[in-house]
Structure 1
Amino acid sequence: MHYFLELFVVLVLGSVAMHVSDPGVASSLESLRIDGNLSFHDVSLAARDFGNRYRLLPSAVLHPGSVSDVAATVRHVFRMGSGSKLTVAARGHGHSLQGQAQADGGIVVRMENLRGCETKVHDGEQPYVDASGGALWINVLLECLKHGLAPKSWTDYLHLTIGGTLSNAGISGQAFRHGPQISNVHQLEIVTGKGELLNCSAEENADLFYAALGGLGQFGIITRARIALEPAPKMVKWIRVLYSDFASFTEDQEMLISLKETFDYIEGFVIINRTGLLNNWRSSFNPQNPVQASEFDSDGRILFCLEMTKNFDQDNAETVNQQVEALLSKLRYIPSTLFQSEVSYLEFLDRVHVSEVKLRSKGLWEVPHPWLNLLIPRTRIRDFAAQVFGKILPDSNNGPILLYPLNKSKWDNRTSAVIPDEEIFYLVAFLSSAPSSSDHDSLDRALKQNDRILDFCKQAGIRMKQYLPYYTMQEEWRAHFGDRWEDFARRKGVYDPLYILAPGQRIFQKAVRSS
């Protein structure tokens, strides 16, 4: 049977791969002269991730003391040739969903060990920050704020590593304006699958530069990135409103992202709760009209929440208030559902961490997360919504459902990231959780629900793309990349010819020569 099918069967059955390090492998790796250290015994943490579904134990974990340790280790594995089964996976903050940062019997590189590498902020007409690939975005933000600056584009959750999000795309409510995080990078430092340490940019090693951005770790390990900055605001006006009509909801979003003068952040999410009790969506927000808000009843309808922010400082607060009022006057939300708040810029950007702390305190963070993230063309979003929200999803969903538009023109088609072939497309993210890691019925329901959504897209001819994609066979990856597959495979052959890197993505299998 095909290797990927065999692997899929093992993973679905929840088997734990138990490895005893090959003494020859251990001896070979122990001969490496590095600043950090290699661990061969306590490797269980490297076989867990945020998805909390797959367990692939490595033979060793590298705790690098420097970038040269990463290069030396990969170079060592490369020189072992095709007679070795060893592969290498870079692990950031462990937020992968499907074991993508794991290496079955291989070496996992703990990239967060490189966080000590200094983050340097450079002021000027075009400010930027140089940060380690293992640095968390939250720490980069805190350093940049000391200089009154901040990166332009974000993810909703900031406790992720630079290299991790740049290997995917990095999307949040600012992407309609600035593009994803991979559209805001000036330069990368990369360790290739040959163990070479290269500086890359649009002018130097450009093919590798664009390959690594959105490249799912297939072409190299990002060890440092130079990221574009902009002046950071002090405060944020944070607004939420509700819609009961999906067409108005999406049309208003598309109108807002097309305006030159608009909100600074635009996201939407879907509320499927037919009990009529709607409290969580507006917690910590004040209603524009408390009396009307108290009388609002969802009547069991599916509702759609539009979330927006406008950045401001004290000296332009009045002007921003007028701009917000003008923008809100163009929208067709339910009038009694206007809720708003004012928070610091840092508080807004790090908002998900507040929820994380609460969930951790209840033991609800480290549970299985069978997430599904789709990029849906604008012309099919209504068809998608009618079937998925109206029929496939149950009365309530165990986790948020995000839905908001993005502009294709803000994405660089030279990168490895793939998106729908329409100027406007939607991110639809089903961020489900299985309440208990032992609740197999709950997990099974979520996975079957995901399959139904994917099957519907296929049957309806919706040419969507998966974000944070997961496939088990190369034929599926070929379909995912479409006419860009040949270039993707070419780049793999150039920069990682032995298929050493990121085996957990299951795109390429290392060919091992029998002895």
Structure 2
Amino acid sequence: MKLPPLSFLKQNNICLKIIMIVFLSCTPDRIINLCSNHSFANPTSPQLLNSTNTLSSLETDGLDGYFSFENNQHAAKDFGNIYHFLPSAVLYPKSVPDISTTIRHIFDMGSASELTVAARGHGHSLQGQAQAHQGIVINMESLQGLEMQVHTGEMPYVDVSGGELWINILHETLKHGLAPKSWTDYLHLTVGGTLSNAGISGQAFRHGPQINNVYQLEIVTGKGEVVTCSAKQNADLFYAVLGGLGQFGIITQARISLEPAPKMAKWIRVLYSEFSIFSHDQENLISSENSFDYIEGFVIINRTGLLNNWRTSFSPKDPLQANQFNSDGRTLYCLEMVKYFNPDEAKAMNQSIENLLSQLSYIPSTLFQSEVSYVEFLDRVHVSEKKLQAKGLWEVPHPWLNLLIPKSRISEFAEVVFGNILADTSNGPILIYPVNQSKWNNRTSLVTPDEDVFYLVAFLSSAMPSSTGRDGLGHILTQNKRILDFCATAQLGMKQYLPQYNKQEEWRAHFGSQWEIFVQRKSAYDPLAILAPGQRIFQKAIRNS
């Protein structure tokens, strides 16, 4: 609902209602459980009340969009469903000046104001990173109405809003026979959200992450300045923002590299019982010039001997053998591969796949193949989402853990984590696949292990809110901590992807030699630490009255 102008609120002395959620600790120091026992209180900070009242001096008549001061509980919730911080207001911008004017206003208030700003896309952060406790959340999806512009030619690209969903970009670019090169597994995410992290999927071994496939950005800095940047123009800001966790500016527009889009996808899954053979085949595939277009893998930990739905939607090459396959209680490893093609290329594509498969050492009876449309493959996770929503299993806590493990230590990691720490079962998919360091630009803010090849290992767990057992939030978080503690003790050289830390010294260790550059960039582009407070990297300095 659109509220009256801010000038009206100020003149009529209407106080802003700010609700603070008090959390229930599950374990000492680290774990916060927001599944129950929420309590509410009114703010008591004089600086905060002054800040929100001063915010009323922003005239909505000068904005294309509007502020909402009530019923903003949705902005205190994300996909992780673990942290809940209620903002003072949500801005629904209809133009880039709406964002820059708001941030500039807060910047001009200086250290007398407690207000911070978080850009929120589709709300798929895991640890409250897109939340702003008693600050302002900017609903970036409000910018989706801005027209996408597809440019064809020798180096095709598309100009899109930072609040646009990747699925919408796919549908629009396909009208021109084009598509972005690099994806995430889930396409119902915003451009600004994935570019602020990296954007990784099974295409990363070939094209690098999404942040490597951007030509140009438009950024609103923490000073409220609107800056166009690229590798040749304002390059420091360009690379700072890519993988920068929202610390240096809000991405309001991006120019994304495109390539000719195929129409079909040959989708293949096979199983391995030995991790060494599985990883060897994966590494050979990503190093081959004539390989698949998408390579991922996942771990199946199931001590019952009965396999789960790893082959859903697949037609087995040998139905009798494949359907009767029993894991005998072993941990298995699934290699997932895709080859893109057009219908007139089917014969050559099948010959290429047969040649590639002949070089692999998977369990022969577990070969599953399926042909689907390019869009159907890329949007595959959304199908699962709708099924989980129908069962009420989507909006549950998601204590995900995403790690980047050096190739030289991946076998040791697998032996301890998959064979010991996760000895009984898992609470969701466990992805594992290698990528090439050479495809990642080391000038961006993203940090990775210092090896030519490293693995993404993603523990995509779901917790049952009322459970205190192995599928409960407390157990999964304890399990995640055991994995992290092992990585630290064994000194694996691991880096977190979508990193989650609460203390600045932990962030310093995460960035390592890049920390000083990160701090310098923060000082240059967001000196008051207004942006992305939910990452808990920098804290805004407040001057006491």
Per the shorter chain, which TM-score range? over 0.9
SS class of match (1:214): coil
Please tell me whether residue 28 in structure 1 is matched to residue 54 in structure 2: yes
CA distance in 1, matches of 2:141, 2:456: 29
Identity %: 69
Tell me what 1:397 maps to. Answer: 426
Does the Cα contact within 8 Å between 1:59 and 1:107 map onto a contact in 2?
yes
Please tell me whether residue 342 in structure 1 is matched to residue 368 in structure 2: no
Tell me what 1:321 maps to. Answer: 350
Q: Deviations over 1:266-299 (max 9, x none)?
A: 0000000111211400011011112221332111
Write the letter of the residue equivalent to 2:192: G
Write the letter of the residue equivalent to 1:496: D
Tell me what 2:536 maps to. Answer: 506
Q: What are the residue-to-residue correspondences of 1:107-186 with 2, within 5 Å? A: 107-186=136-215
Tell me what 1:484 maps to. Answer: 514
SS class of match (1:76): helix
Please tell me whether residue 241 in structure 1 is matched to residue 267 in structure 2: no
Tell me what 1:284 maps to. Answer: 313
CA distance in 2, matches of 1:366, 1:375: 27
The structure-2 alpha-carbon separation of the partners of 1:296 and 1:432, relative to structure 1 and needing over 3 Å to count, comes to: same
The structure-2 alpha-carbon separation of the partners of 1:396 and 1:501, relative to structure 1 and needing over 3 Å to count, comes to: same
Tell me what 1:60 maps to. Answer: 89
Aligned partner of 1:468 among 495, 498, 510: 498
Please tell me whether residue 188 in structure 1 is matched to residue 217 in structure 2: yes
CA distance in 2, matches of 1:402, 1:312: 25
Aligned partner of 2:527 among 497, 501, 504: 497
Write the letter of the residue equivalent to 1:337: T
Does the Cα contact within 8 Å between 1:26 and 1:40 map onto a contact in 2?
no
In the superposition, the TM-score normalised over structure 1's length comes to 0.97
RMSD: 1.5
Q: Deviations over 1:361-398 (max 9, x none)?
A: 00000000000000000000000000000000142111
CA distance in 1, matches of 2:468, 2:326: 34
Q: CA deviation at 1:439?
A: 2.8
Tell me what 2:442 maps to. Answer: 413
SS class of match (2:310): helix
Q: CA deviation at 1:16?
A: 5.9
Aligned partner of 2:360 among 316, 319, 331: 331
The structure-2 alpha-carbon separation of the partners of 1:82 and 1:26, relative to structure 1 and needing over 3 Å to count, comes to: closer
Q: CA deviation at 1:31?
A: 2.5
Q: Deviations over 1:149-199 (max 9, x none)?
A: 000000000000000000000000000000000000000000000000010
Tell me what 2:489 maps to. Answer: 459
SS class of match (2:99): helix
Does the Cα contact within 8 Å between 1:17 and 1:57 map onto a contact in 2?
no
CA distance in 2, matches of 1:28, 1:352: 44
CA distance in 2, matches of 1:338, 1:316: 22
CA distance in 1, matches of 2:301, 2:203: 25
Write the letter of the residue equivalent to 2:386: V
Write the letter of the residue equivalent to 2:105: H
- Misfit runs of 4+, over 2 Å: 8-11, 13-31, 437-441
Q: Deviations over 1:109-165 (max 9, x none)?
A: 000000111111100000001010000000011101111100000000000000000
CA distance in 2, matches of 1:75, 1:397: 47
Tell me what 2:14 maps to. Answer: none
CA distance in 2, matches of 1:423, 1:335: 31
Q: CA deviation at 1:240?
A: 0.2
Aligned partner of 1:44 among 56, 73, 78: 73
Aligned partner of 1:94 among 119, 123, 127: 123
Does the Cα contact within 8 Å between 1:88 and 1:107 map onto a contact in 2?
yes
Does the Cα contact within 8 Å between 2:119 and 2:140 map onto a contact in 1?
yes
CA distance in 2, matches of 1:279, 1:459: 33
SS class of match (1:282): coil
Q: Which runs of 5+ in 1 are unaligned?
A: 1-5
Q: Which runs of 5+ in 2 are unaligned?
A: 1-24
CA distance in 1, matches of 2:428, 2:344: 39
Aligned length: 508
CA distance in 2, matches of 1:330, 1:219: 46
Tell me what 2:233 maps to. Answer: 204
SS class of match (1:281): coil
Write the letter of the residue equivalent to 2:540: K
Aligned partner of 2:466 among 431, 438, 444: 438
The structure-2 alpha-carbon separation of the partners of 1:211 and 1:332, relative to structure 1 and needing over 3 Å to count, comes to: same
CA distance in 2, matches of 1:11, 1:245: 35
Q: CA deviation at 1:41?
A: 1.1
Does the Cα contact within 8 Å between 1:17 and 1:56 map onto a contact in 2?
no
Tell me what 2:4 maps to. Answer: none
CA distance in 1, matches of 2:224, 2:423: 49
In the superposition, the TM-score normalised over structure 2's length comes to 0.91
Does the Cα contact within 8 Å between 2:33 and 2:83 map onto a contact in 1?
no
Does the Cα contact within 8 Å between 1:186 and 1:201 map onto a contact in 2?
yes
SS class of match (1:164): helix
Please tell me whether residue 12 in structure 1 is matched to residue 29 in structure 2: no
Does the Cα contact within 8 Å between 1:19 and 1:57 map onto a contact in 2?
no
CA distance in 1, matches of 2:30, 2:85: 10
Q: CA deviation at 1:27?
A: 3.4
Does the Cα contact within 8 Å between 1:243 and 1:304 map onto a contact in 2?
yes
CA distance in 1, matches of 2:468, 2:138: 31
Q: Deviations over 1:475-498 (max 9, x none)?
A: 000000000000000000000000
CA distance in 2, matches of 1:320, 1:217: 41
CA distance in 2, matches of 1:10, 1:294: 44
CA distance in 1, matches of 2:476, 2:173: 39
Write the letter of the residue equivalent to 2:32: V
Write the letter of the residue equivalent to 1:466: Q
CA distance in 1, matches of 2:267, 2:335: 11
